[in-house]
Amino acid sequence: MTLVHLVLVLALVEFFFFLNEVGRARGRYGVKAPATSGHEIFDRIFRVQMNTLEQLVIFVPSLLLFAAYVNPTIAAGLGALFIIGRALYYRGYVRAANQRGTGFLISVIPNAALLLGALVGILLALSRHYA
Amino acid sequence: MTLVHLVLVLALVEFFFFLNEVGRARGRYGVKAPATSGHEIFDRIFRVQMNTLEQLVIFVPSLLLFAAYVNPTIAAGLGALFIIGRALYYRGYVRAANQRGTGFLISVIPNAALLLGALVGILLALSRHYA
Amino acid sequence: MTLVHLVLVLALVEFFFFLNEVGRARGRYGVKAPATSGHEIFDRIFRVQMNTLEQLVIFVPSLLLFAAYVNPTIAAGLGALFIIGRALYYRGYVRAANQRGTGFLISVIPNAALLLGALVGILLALSRHYA
């Protein structure tokens, strides 16, 4: 389970980096708080942050439940893929909005696998319990 | 506790559905990334997603702590109500902004109950420990 | 660990208060849903909420992992500082955008300490395991 916790923390470190990039982009592109829009590149970095926020709310519990109900090593592997996919998503999206697709899929597919795997694992555990 | 985990995962599956609806609404209403506004119906679906994100950050830990410190069956019941409320919120909000109230309340009241119940349960556990 | 859970729940109660303030500010400053912008003070309260949402996604798992791998009392202390910092952030930001810095730092620094401390604690646990 420690390896799963490492993957979890690394995903949060990556998100912390995205938050920091948004802060730096405020200065670089002159987007003054409380605005969250105003320069095309700022807007794209901000969207990387927001989209990753949405994904993390699913990722953190799904990773832990998949590890508990299915398999911790597979959970860590899917989680590592998620982190790599998010890095590619960031790199692509900063370059151009239409280059965000690959990284998006490489992060969202393992995230969906963690969520659905956790669901199946929980349902199997319940069926064993009531069988 | 497995039933509580099932409710947790189902709430995340519902959120995943909302994320997907935002993606589909981008195409349908011509709101190109990185914009998150531009068409009234898109804006409402996007708000369902964002508001659910805010609620989930409270919901996930509150559900687990309520289950641990108060009662897992009541936690699962309040959690199920939250999921139903969010579905009604989505259906109402997509129809019209002023029809979002009922679903909002049916999801926010059980969420507040989970949060405050967890708080009371923790305070009682601490008072027992130091008494 | 109960003290850590208390800190966690209090941070969520504070966030619930921010969510509620955004709702009240909608009425007070005439920002009708689904808009999330339109009046300077509303915009600033909304940013307090969104920024706290981002921080909480890091805070909740980092607090628990720091408590498990490093030390629960230090985790609770850093968590309490985070809550105080967020209150100052709210108070400052509502007054003026350029008064948000102090509260921001008092909440983000302990949050980063929880995250990095958890990372170090996990790495040490892994190195002990494989040594």
ipTM score here? Answer: 0.95
Is the confidence at residue C131, as pLDDT, over 80? Answer: no
Q: What is the pLDDT of residue C31?
A: 94
Q: Is residue A131 pLDDT above 80, yes or no?
A: no
Q: Is A32 on the interface with B (CB under 8 A)?
A: no
* Burial class, B47, CB count within 10 angstroms (exposed 0-12 / middle 13-18 / buried 19+): buried
Interface test with A, best of B2, B9, B52 (most A CBs within 10 A): B9
- Rounded to whole angstroms, how far apart are CA atoms C13 and C10? 5
- Nearest Cβ partner for A16 among C97, C115, C125: C115
CA-wise closest residue to A89 among B33, C70, C47: B33
Instruction: Report C:47-66 residues touching B (Cβ under 8 A).
Output: 49, 53, 56-57, 60
d(Cα A37, Cα C86) in Å, to the nearest integer?
23
pLDDT reading at B131 higher than 80: no
Q: Which CATH class is domain B2-130?
A: mainly alpha
- Predicted confidence (pLDDT) per residue in B102-124, tens digit: 999 999 999 999 999 999 999 99
Cβ of B34 under 8 Å from any chain A Cβ? yes
Preceding peptide of A34 cis, ω within 30°? yes
**Which ranges in chain C belong to alpha helices (H)?**
2-29, 40-69, 72-95, 101-130
- Contact call for residues A117 and A70 (beta carbons, < 8 A): yes
Please tell me the predicted confidence (pLDDT) of residue B75.
98
Mean pLDDT of all residues belonging to chain B: 96
Q: What is the rounded radius of gyration, in angstroms, for the C-alpha atoms of chain A?
A: 17
- Tally the residues of chain C: 131
Could you state, in order of their start, the residue ranges of all structural domains in chain B? 2-130
pLDDT at residue C109, as a whole number: 98
- Percent pLDDT > 90 in chain C is 96
Residue of C44, C47, C126 with shortest CB distance to A6? C126
Q: What is the pLDDT of residues A28-79, one digit of tens each?
A: 999 998 999 989 999 999 999 999 999 999 999 999 999 999 999 999 999 9
* Residues A16, C43: C-beta atoms closer than 8 Å: no
Say what the pLDDT of residue C83 is: 98
Q: What does R_g of chain C's alpha carbons equal in angstroms?
A: 17
What pLDDT, in 10s, does the model give residues C82-91? 999 999 999 9
**Contact indicator for B62, B109 with CB cutoff of 8 Å:** no
- The pLDDT assigned to C59 comes to 98
Query: For C29-82, how does the pLDDT look when each residue is reduced to its tens digit (9 = 90+)?
Result: 999 989 999 899 999 999 999 999 999 999 999 999 999 999 999 999 999 999
**Closest residue in chain C to residue B119, using alpha carbons only:** C9
Q: Using the beta-carbon criterion (under 8 Å), do C34 and B53 form an inter-chain contact?
A: no
Report chain A residues whose CB lies below 8 A from the CB of B13.
115-116, 119
**pTM for the full predicted model:** 0.97
Exposure letters A4-20 (e unless 16+ CB within 10 A, then b): bbbbbbbbbbbbbebbe
The answer to whether residue C105 scores a pLDDT higher than 90 is: yes
| B119: chain C residues, CB-CB within 8 Å | 6, 9-10, 13
Confidence of residue B129 (pLDDT cuts 50, 70, 90): confident
Residue B36, H or E segment: none
Which residue has better confidence, B38 or A75? A75
Identify which of B67, B62, B78, B66 has the alpha carbon closest to the alpha carbon of residue B2: B67
